[in-house]
Amino acid sequence: MCGIVGYIGKKEAAPIILDGLARLEYRGYDSAGMAVFDGEKVNITKTVGRLKVLEELTHGGETMPGFSGIGHTRWATHGAPSNSNSHPHFNKDKTIMVVHNGIIENYIPLRNKLIKKGYEFVSETDTEVVAQMLDYYHKGDPLETILKVLNRIEGSYALGIMFTDHPGEIFAARKGSPLIAGQSKDGCFIASDVPAILRYTRTVYFVEEQEIVRLGEDRMRFYTMDEEEVEKEPVTIEWDADAAEKAGYEHFMLKEMYEQPKTIADTIAPRIQKDKIEIEELGLSDEEIRAVRKVHIVACGSAYHAGVTGKYVLEGLARIPVEVDLASEFRYRDPILEEGAMVIAISQSGETADTLAAIRESKRKGFRVLGIVNVVGSSIAREADNVMYTWAGPEIAVATTKAYSAQLVALYLLAVKFASVRKTIDGALYASLLRDLKRLPDQVELLLNNKEKIQHFANRYIGARDVFFIGRGIDYAISLEGSLKLKEISYIHSEAYAAGELKHGTISLIEEGTLVAAVSTQPALYQKIISNMVEVKARGAFLLAVTNEGNREIEKVSDYVIYIPETNPFFANSLAIIPLQLFGYYVAVGKGCDVDKPRNLAKSVTVE
Ligand code: F6R
């Protein structure tokens, strides 16, 4: 997803912009560029490829002197990755420069109108239309010009804009795409995300929907679309800049996997007080919890997989029917939400466009939304009626691990809380569930510390062509995530199946040596999954089993077994996923893949 960084102040802008863009690399990109203004002329450098190329071309920014500038990493949507499609885009005279994240949906009619008026376009992007329109409307007052353009474009945007006739200022605006602003004693910043500017300041402003920012060297002002100035309170970011670095691990993904015990503890601990679950931010009284008739969970990717687990846990413990939807489906299927329905949206980034749209659809229908979100102040956090934060800290690797684990425990907390209020569990079970929740961090740690066994096994599967993950109930939800982890970072085709479903077609793909990972953590279903394992073994499958300590029977049908420590079966996902994450990771490392930045993927998917 595109990344934006802008700076104006007392220091050279180019090195700050390059550094900020480097910290946004996790978002995924295919080209990069920046424009720096030295008060007389604008220098623009843009290139397809990694940020390193831009650094080399500009000698680390030295060839682009100036105290104000805007930079961009592009993730292609309209027009292939190329130098001319890279940002910044500009008008013919190079007096107006624009960087953009999002999609201008009506760019074709707007571009056609401008072409009729004699404008020439040099790129295939939707963004260039913004630069040309700014040129068309600009009569000297930048704010007025920007408003005229914003009122005519449809779609989503975070924009960074420079006018050479206003040398002491840069401008920004957002609608539907993330944007923050920050201020230090040396200048003002804009960026797509906080890590980009953390090295320079902890004083951050979250730019609201349809807000415009005017940045000077030592002050910034915010405006509504009616040109009214708004007072905003800055937020002080507490997390350490080091939290966004690798801390000695080979990859962010490995570091983040190792942070899971802490993440889980941080998400659980503040919500268990005096042996009782208290989730104040839920905003629901006990009476309201009892009145919930149905829960709808909406999310994408791994967050959706956490939601599938949430369904089994909430239904199993609190006896509330739960429907889990991919947000991209929910938003267009005119979902039936009836009285007593509660919507839960799960998202790490808090910026996923489809999840945000699903929230808006639910609110439009008059239903309250609880967000389970990791990024504080993100769009979903702001648009949901209530927010339960997962305290995972910044997640840099594109493939999620620690945020997913935090989402799981947030859902467990909700389920146990609902179950106790609705009296679907007794006091003894409540106490034992709490005890098992508190044990999870140590148990995850134990599994991580025994990584060699899975690492050794993974090395044998570097050349695999297809892998299948099977399980029933919660084990199916675990399989979904295990399969995604493997395929997204190692590029090995893998699929997750509800174990009983395999024989309805997919079993024909099993051949001699095909790896099938069978997840079996639910004692009530041990025998069932063993039957399915026997079925695939008879067709030549090589069987990896992930199961509970003590389930020795599974050894009879398995070729390799990974045991997880004992916990309540409802929480088994948090443990069984660890070896599967490690498996995906070590296969990808073995294959020499770019683990933290898999091809074609972006960390935060802010377009549909
Ligand atoms: C996979 C992964 C994605 C995200 C999905 C939703 O490892 O990270 O599948 O889970 O794009 O993102 P968020 O949680 O930011 O809404």
> Tens of pLDDT along 5-50?
999 999 999 999 999 999 888 666 789 999 999 989 999 999 999 8
> Tens of pLDDT along 198-252?
999 999 999 999 999 999 999 999 999 999 999 999 988 876 665 556 656 889 9
Please compute the mean of the pLDDT values over residues 298-302 and round it to a whole number. 98
Q: What per-residue confidence (pLDDT) applies to 243?
A: 58
Coil, strand or helix at 146: helix
Largest separation between any pair of C-alpha atoms in the chain: 80
Pair 443, 456 in one domain: no
Q: How remote is the C-alpha of 283 from its chain's centroid? A: 25
Q: What is the CATH number of the domain that holds 336?
A: 3.40.50.10490
* DSSP 8-class letter at 176: B
Nearest Cα residue to 17 out of 149, 213, 162: 162
Pairing of strands 31-37, 68-74: antiparallel
Q: What per-residue confidence (pLDDT) applies to 438?
A: 96
Annotated catalytic, 593?
no
Please compute the mean of the pLDDT values over residues 134-156 and round it to a whole number. 96
Which tokens sit at 592?
A: 């020499």
Please compute the mean of the pLDDT values over residues 539-561 and round it to a whole number. 95
207-237: burial string, b at 16+ Cβ within 10 Å, e else: beeebbbbbbeeebebbeeeeeeeebeebeb
CA gyration radius for the chain?
26
Pair 565, 465 in one domain: yes
Q: Could you give the percent of the chain with pLDDT greater than 70?
A: 98
Looking at the domain assignment, is residue 396 inside a domain? yes
Going 557 to 563 to 564 to 566, the CA torsion angle's sign is positive
Boundary (domain end) residue, out of 449, 480, 502 = 449
> Nearest 5°: phi and psi at 2?
-60, 150
Cut 0.75: pTM above it: no
Domain that holds residue 546: 450-597
CA pair distance 115, 120, nearest whole angstrom: 6
Pair 432, 456 in one domain: no
Ligand 1 near 349 CB (within 6 A): yes
Which of these ranges, 324-328, 502-506, 545-549, 573-577, has the smallest mean pLDDT? 502-506
> Which is the closest atom of ligand 1 to the Cα of 403?
14
Looking at the domain assignment, is residue 264 inside a domain? yes
Ligand 1 near 390 CB (within 6 A): no
Q: How remote is the C-alpha of 384 from its chain's centroid? A: 16
Which residue minimizes the CA distance to atom 1 of ligand 1? 399
> Tens of pLDDT along 406-454?
999 999 999 999 999 999 999 999 999 999 999 999 999 999 999 989 9
Pair 200, 262 in one domain: no
CB 195 within 8 A of CB 24: yes
Cis peptide bond upstream of 394, omega within 30: no
Q: What per-residue confidence (pLDDT) applies to 28?
A: 64
Look at the chain and report how many structural domains it folds into. Answer: 3
Coil, strand or helix at 481: helix
CA pair distance 280, 251, nearest whole angstrom: 36
> Tens of pLDDT along 369-405?
999 999 877 899 999 999 999 988 888 899 999 999 9
Coil, strand or helix at 575: helix
Pair 149, 25 in one domain: yes
CA pair distance 7, 437, nearest whole angstrom: 45
Boundary (domain end) residue, out of 213, 238, 263 = 238
Boundary (domain end) residue, out of 190, 214, 238 = 238
Which tokens sit at 78?
A: 């309209």
CB 505 within 8 A of CB 554: no
Please list the alpha-helical segments (H only) found in 292-349. Answer: 301-313, 327-330
Ligand 1 near 406 CB (within 6 A): no
Going 463 to 465 to 470 to 474, the CA torsion angle's sign is positive
Annotated catalytic, 2?
yes
Ligand 1 near 567 CB (within 6 A): no
- Of 175, 417, 451, 603, catalytic: 603
Number of H helices, E strands in the chain: 18, 27
